[in-house]
Amino acid sequence: MLRVLRYLIVLGALIAAAVWLADHPGAVILVWQGYRIDTSVAALVVAVAAVAATAALFYRLWVLVRRAPSDLSESWRLKRRQKGYQALTHGMVAVAAGDAEEARRQVKRADGLLDEPPLTMLLKAQAAQLAGDEQAAAKFFTAMTENSGTEFLGVRGLLNQAMRRGETEKALGFARRAYRLRPKSDWVASVLFDLEARSRRWLDARSTADEAGRRGLIAPEVGRRRKAVLALELSREAKERNISDEAIRRAREAHELAPDFVPATVALASGLLDAGKGRRVTTLIEHTWHLSPHPDLVRLYGAALDVGDVLARVRATQRLIKLNPDHLESRLALAGAALQAKLWGEARTALSGVGDDPPARVCRLMAELEELEHGDHARARAWLMRASLADPDPAWVCDTCGNTVKDWGALCAKCQNFDSFRWRTPPHVVALAAPSTPALPATTNQTLAPPADR
- Give phi and psi for 43, each to the nearest 5: -65, -40
Model confidence over 81-125: pLDDT tens digits?
A: 667 657 656 665 665 566 667 766 776 676 666 665 666 677 777
Considering Cα of 84, then 89, then 92, then 96, what sign does the dihedral take?
Answer: negative
Residue 454 predicted with pLDDT over 70: no
Averaged pLDDT of the chain: 83
48-62, 258-272, 418-432: least confidently modelled range? 418-432
Domain boundaries, given as residue ranges, for the chain: 2-74
Task: Let me know: does 269 contact 300? Beta carbons within 8 Å.
Answer: yes
Euclidean distance between CA atoms 85 and 73, whole angstroms: 18
Task: Let me know: does 280 contact 255? Beta carbons within 8 Å.
Answer: no
Q: What is the pLDDT of residue 411?
A: 95
Model confidence over 196-247: pLDDT tens digits?
A: 999 999 999 999 999 999 999 999 999 999 999 999 999 999 999 999 999 9
Closest CA to 267 of 291, 240, 307, 306: 240
Please report how many Cα atoms fall inside a 13 Å half-sphere around the Cα of residue 142, on the Cβ side: 7
118-122, 193-197, 448-452: least confidently modelled range? 448-452
Which of the four pLDDT bands, split at 50, 70 and 90, describes residue 413? very high
What stretches of 182-326 show up as alpha helix (H) in DSSP?
186-198, 202-214, 220-240, 244-257, 262-274, 281-291, 295-305, 310-321
**Cβ neighbours of residue 365 under 8 Å, at least 6 residues apart?**
332, 335, 336, 339, 347, 351
State the virtual CA torsion across 82, 85, 87, 89 in degrees, nearest 10: -140
Task: Let me know: does 216 contact 225? Beta carbons within 8 Å.
Answer: no
